[in-house]
Structure 1
């Protein structure tokens, strides 16, 4: 079974497109190479529930104001899948505009605050030291030091209160049950929502149709096996979700075909892992030296940040699987060597 896209085009800017009974799709711009995010509005009795917020800028806020003015009822709940700026960035502003309560997982809420305040191993200075240990050159490190906290610049304010959601919980929306599914690897406690009655999955960033989700290791958890966590989460999702389910991703078009997409992602990462392992066969290499193996293109500063995190995630996977050995030189730089069978 291949992927099927029941909607060939996204909604126009500021427009709502119904994708299932009571479920509406809207799209907002992003100021990155990945230039859009999909957001979702769910009818809930006389009111509405929003899933994810968009990136904070004047255009997005103006579009939201137009949409909110056209709703025939109040927004009563704001659900955020995870802490990244394009998902949580406008939560405080939307709460002020609507009075809606925020719902998210504890892992995402607290991580947002840790990253914003640069505590607990989160923040630019910790990231710079992590990347130095993994062999990134002085020029790139200086750019990251000068850039500082990109998260605080992207997220002007954070909510101080929330309703906690966790694995096994469910939300009742317009009389229908939406199960809370938790996935790991992309974010600490990423939430997806699945409605068995509608056979609809709001997948957030955990399952995207055409691009692979960024899986990074962060300075606060340097030995995290984030890629294995992510692949395990995908397998669990594939085992639970029927193949005819309509998947509503944060980026790309809605699609059906959970199982073939999950299989393709497993195959993609298996190929990348094999390429990294082979690249460390003769000479030990650092994550920075292996970027060109994973990403065969020129990377800007923003992309290098994600690329380094992803390279470290793949190398942690290989080391913890016994396929690579970790070597630290006298200067504290970490490199990896293939384990001979």
Structure 2
């Protein structure tokens, strides 16, 4: 660890938060170790880097846990910062790796032997006005993730809403698409506890991006998912980033309001035809790294798709580029 944050934090008698470092501005991702009677579960082990592996060795040492004590690895979603170490940890432990069926399809689409996700994303962004030089940098950036998610684990499938054992307690897996296709949260009603992955985060808002071949309106899916989980009684929320938090329902509503405000701002920029890339630059600025730009562009497209589906904007093709403007 390169700063003063603690690697391991005990949150309950059974739940331990492990802060796994990331080579990104977010700095760390939360993994969780949940102890059972004779074994334990790891939720979202992190990204595959040498620093992350070193942190796992140190964390398990602090917890007096052996790799052989880890019975299963549970994934909230397929993004590299959560999924990346699953294959390595499976090799070290022999544990099953669990995720949603939709999440597994995304893994194959992005990093499988017949992967096509990177080039289809490049095509989508170019269609919406991204400059060719920037698009080429995007491809290099996306391909660099392959080593951060390798080796690939053998995956078992979690069924939505079928009680799932984590530690020594059964949790309800709930499908919460939006931030990621196939995203799951895990809710324990009696303990009013939720492992919410990146669906609900404190202080920051989860990225919601339009990606090719997945969900034509991911923001609508995200807002619907937020409304669904906002009805749960939660006193302890364990997120994928930042610290565990209270006020879960209030935070859900804050995020919903944030996106409606963003939709209003974006619609205000559409008095004349603009590309998504222009809007992205106006909205998020021009000083973004390629990593940040990928998220910003996908999020801009997600908001435009929502406005299109609600009849508030129209699209037109000029040459090989899509332009958007406010509907009459």
Q: Please indicate the TM-score interval, normalised by the length of the shorter structure.
A: over 0.9
Distance 1:152 1:322 in 2: 38
Equivalent of residue 196 in structure 2, options 198, 203, 219: 203
Note closer, same or farther for the CA distance 1:119–1:228 as it changes in structure 2 (3 Å cut).
farther
- Per-residue CA shift, 1:115-157, capped at 9, x if unaligned? 003747512x222211111011122123224445133132122
Q: CA deviation at 1:292?
A: 3.3
**1:28-67 matched pairs, under 5 angstroms:** 28-67=20-59
The answer to whether residue 203 in structure 2 is matched with residue 214 in structure 1 is: no
2:127 equivalent among 116, 125, 133: 133
Match of 1:288 in 2: 277
Correspondent of 1:336 among 314, 324, 327: 324
5+ residue gaps, structure 2: none
Q: What is the SS of the residue equivalent to 1:228?
A: helix
Deviation at 1:278, TM superposition (A): 1.1
String of CA shifts for 1:57-83, please: whole Å, max 9, x gaps.
112111212333421771111101111
Q: Does 1:169 align with 2:162?
A: yes
2:141, 2:290 within 8 Å by CA — same for their partners in 1? no
How many angstroms does 1:300 deviate by?
A: 1.0
Which residue of 2 is the match for residue 77 of structure 1?
72
2:314 is the alignment partner of 1:325: yes
TM-score normalised according to structure 1 size = 0.89
Paired residues for 1:171-250 under 5 Å: 171-221=164-214, 224-239=216-231, 241-242=232-233, 244-250=234-240
Separation in 1 of the partners of 2:178 and 2:139?
26
Distance 1:122 1:276, change over 3 A: same
Distance 1:332 1:119, change over 3 A: farther
- Aligned pair partner of 1:277 in 258, 267, 283: 267
Does 2:262 align with 1:267? Answer: no
Q: Which residue of 2 aligns with 1:86?
A: 81
Task: Answer yes or no: is the 8 Å Cα contact 2:108–2:115 preserved in 1.
Answer: no
- The answer to which of 285-294 and 146-155 deviates more is 146-155
1:270 aligns to what SS in structure 2?
helix
CA distance in 1, matches of 2:286, 2:294: 14
- Secondary structure of the residue aligned to 1:279 is coil
| Distance (Å, rounded) in 1 between the aligned partners of 2:123 and 2:249 | 39
Aligned CA-pair RMSD: 1.8
Looking at structure 2, the residues matched to 86 and 136 of structure 1 have their Cα atoms a distance apart, in angstroms, of 26
Secondary structure of the equivalent of 1:103? Answer: strand
Aligned residues: 322
Q: 1:7 — aligned with what?
A: none
CA distance in 1, matches of 2:177, 2:141: 28
CA deviation after TM superposition for structure 1 residue 297, in Å = 5.9
User: In structure 2, do the counterparts of structure 1 residues 174 and 87 end up closer, same or farther at CA, with 3 Å as the change threshold?
Assistant: closer
Matched with 1:256 is 246
Q: Which has the higher contact order (CA 8 A, sep 6+)?
A: 1
- 1:334 match: secondary structure: strand
Partner Cα separation in structure 2 for residue 148 and residue 180 of structure 1: 29
Task: Confirm whether residue 309 of structure 1 aligns to residue 298 of structure 2.
Answer: yes
Unaligned runs of 5+ in 1: 1-9
Counterpart CA distance in 1 for 2:21 and 2:190 is: 31
Distance 2:5 2:32 in 1: 12
Deviates more, 1:110-119 or 1:18-27: 110-119
Native 8 Å contact 1:11 1:25 kept in 2: no
